[in-house]
């Protein structure tokens, strides 16, 4: 079932991060998208969400303003889009979140975010010398100082963002984690680098054999030693929850059904955005909020239907793996290859095994 709609209100970005799955991997379809969502497409999206919720009992959907960089719409438009979403969706709206690179959060923008009660997801990859090596402007200038200014303005308005950090296999995870603690972050998610089997070598040929585990294991140790219940670090909290028999959040591990869809600035209903690292056009569905509803997904797009309602079976190796209940074969884009589609273990399989084994021994749990 769909619980979240990730809505691209801007398709371009003021940054050009070297690893960006949208602009710098296999897919170039963003070039065909309108730069901004129109009021007509936005309103149709709200109507589709409202009708989807009405057909289900007490169903709510969370809205995520995404991009590109969603703040490119400007503070006035952000305010009007938020107000419109609340008006049309009413009780069907669970929350509004803005996923931002943080570099355009001037006082006016932060004021709109605070007044509208918007939660903030904030991308930050570490201290300046690490962050600025990959998260750069189109003029190749680092973005750390502007991101930190944005973070300070949010905090001044009483907003503590959830920080997303993409694992960079060539730097120290522990240094990044310590920096995050030094600047007072309490909600941190480390994302595994998005890449498919077909392109892993071209991105990470000079990395170690388990670069993600080499990065995350010292982070886990530091976080575990800190033992601060107010600091949530994913994926560790989710993985520990799964190890203890509960459910972790998120779609990276456990092979869960997808609970969200993406809507592009032209109204296209698309599949998991990060699949763009697989090949150009993979996320296309021929569905559009102007003509279709989310209930048309089943009849009109087998792949998206499978992601949301059916799921993908694990490959033979994952089926036989003692970590399958926790790992679930890894994130879909990381499972993909041209030759076998999603019938592969994750490109980060050895990293995941190593990390899980380390975590289990640190917290004194046996493998099931």
Question: Which residues contribute to the site for ligand SF4 (CB under 6 A)?
Answer: 13, 15-17, 20, 22-23, 67-69, 101, 123, 135, 317-318, 321, 323-324, 327, 329-330, 345-346, 349, 352-353
Query: What are the beta bridge partners of residue 190?
Result: 165
Contact by Cβ (8 Å): 192, 335: no
Residue 291 CB, nearest approach to ligand SF4 (Å)? 27
Sign of CA dihedral 142, 137, 190, 106: positive
User: At 109, which helix (H) or strand (E)?
Assistant: helix 107-116
Contact by Cβ (8 Å): 223, 355: no
Contact by Cβ (8 Å): 262, 304: no
How many Cβ atoms from other residues are within 10 Å of residue 253's Cβ?
25
Comparing CB distances to ligand SF4, the nearer of 58 and 366 is 366
SS3 264: coil
Select from 161, 158, 157 the least CA-distant residue to 147: 161
Comparing CB distances to ligand SF4, the nearer of 301 and 344 is 344
Comparing CB distances to ligand SF4, the nearer of 45 and 351 is 351
Tokens of 354: 């190593």
Q: Which residues are within 8 A (CB) of 11 and not within 5 positions of it... i.e. 6 or more apart? A: 30, 33, 34, 35, 36, 67, 68, 264, 265
Residue 22 CB, nearest approach to ligand SF4 (Å)? 5
Comparing CB distances to ligand SF4, the nearer of 13 and 167 is 13
Comparing CB distances to ligand SF4, the nearer of 267 and 345 is 345
Residue 30 CB, nearest approach to ligand SF4 (Å)? 9
Residue 109 CB, nearest approach to ligand SF4 (Å)? 15
Comparing CB distances to ligand SF4, the nearer of 16 and 106 is 16
Select from 18, 301, 270 the least CA-distant residue to 136: 18
Comparing CB distances to ligand SF4, the nearer of 294 and 312 is 312
Cα Rg of the chain, angstroms: 20
Buried b (16+ CB within 10 A) or exposed e, 90-111: eebbeebbbbbbbbbbeeebbe
237 vs 217: CA distance, rounded Å? 14
Select from 264, 262, 290 the least CA-distant residue to 37: 264
Residue 313 CB, nearest approach to ligand SF4 (Å)? 12
Comparing CB distances to ligand SF4, the nearer of 333 and 345 is 345
Residue 269 CB, nearest approach to ligand SF4 (Å)? 20
* φ and ψ of 80, to 5 deg: -70, -35
Comparing CB distances to ligand SF4, the nearer of 94 and 191 is 191
337 vs 14: CA distance, rounded Å? 31
Query: What are the beta bridge partners of residue 120?
Result: 98
Residue 9 CB, nearest approach to ligand SF4 (Å)? 13
Residue 74 CB, nearest approach to ligand SF4 (Å)? 17
Residue 353 CB, nearest approach to ligand SF4 (Å)? 5
């Amino acid at each position: 079932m769909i619980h979240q709609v990730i809505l691209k209100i801007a398709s371009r970005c003021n940054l050009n991060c070297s690893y960006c799955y949208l602009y710098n991997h296999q897919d170039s379809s963003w070039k065909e998208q309108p730069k901004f969502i129109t009021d007509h497409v936005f309103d149709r999206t709200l109507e589709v969400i409202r009708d989807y919720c009405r057909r289900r009992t007490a169903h709510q959907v969370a809205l995520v303003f995404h991009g590109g960089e969603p703040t490119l719409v400007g503070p006035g438009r952000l305010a009007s889009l938020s107000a419109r979403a609340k008006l049309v969706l009413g009780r069907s709206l669970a929350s509004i979140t803005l996923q931002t690179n943080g570099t355009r959060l001037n006082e006016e923008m932060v004021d709109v975010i605070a007044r509208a009660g918007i939660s903030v997801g904030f991308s930050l990859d570490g201290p300046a010398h690490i962050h600025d090596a990959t998260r750069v402007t189109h003029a190749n200038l680092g973005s750390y100082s502007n991101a930190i200014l944005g973070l300070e303005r949010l905090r001044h308005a009483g907003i503590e963002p959830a920080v997303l950090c993409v694992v960079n296999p060539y730097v120290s995870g522990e240094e990044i984690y310590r920096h995050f603690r030094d600047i007072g972050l309490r909600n941190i998610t480390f994302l595994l680098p998005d890449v498919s089997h077909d392109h892993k070598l071209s991105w990470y040929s000079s990395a170690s054999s388990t670069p993600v585990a080499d990065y995350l294991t010292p982070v886990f140790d530091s976080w575990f030693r800190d033992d601060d219940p107010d600091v949530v670090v994913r994926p560790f909290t989710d993985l520990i929850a799964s190890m203890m028999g509960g459910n972790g959040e998120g779609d990276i591990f456990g092979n869960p059904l997808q609970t969200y869809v993406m809507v592009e600035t032209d109204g296209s209903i698309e599949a998991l955005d990060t699949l763009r690292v697989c090949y150009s056009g993979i996320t296309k569905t021929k569905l559009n909020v102007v003509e279709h509803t989310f209930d048309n997904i089943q009849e009109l797009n087998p792949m998206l239907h499978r992601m949301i309602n059916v799921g993908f079976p694990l490959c033979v190796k994952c089926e036989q793996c003692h970590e399958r209940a926790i790992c679930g074969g890894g994130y879909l884009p990381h499972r993909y290859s041209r030759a076998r589609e999603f019938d592969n273990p994750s490109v980060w399989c050895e990293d995941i095994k190593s990390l899980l084994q380390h975590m289990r021994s640190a917290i004194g749990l046996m493998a099931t």
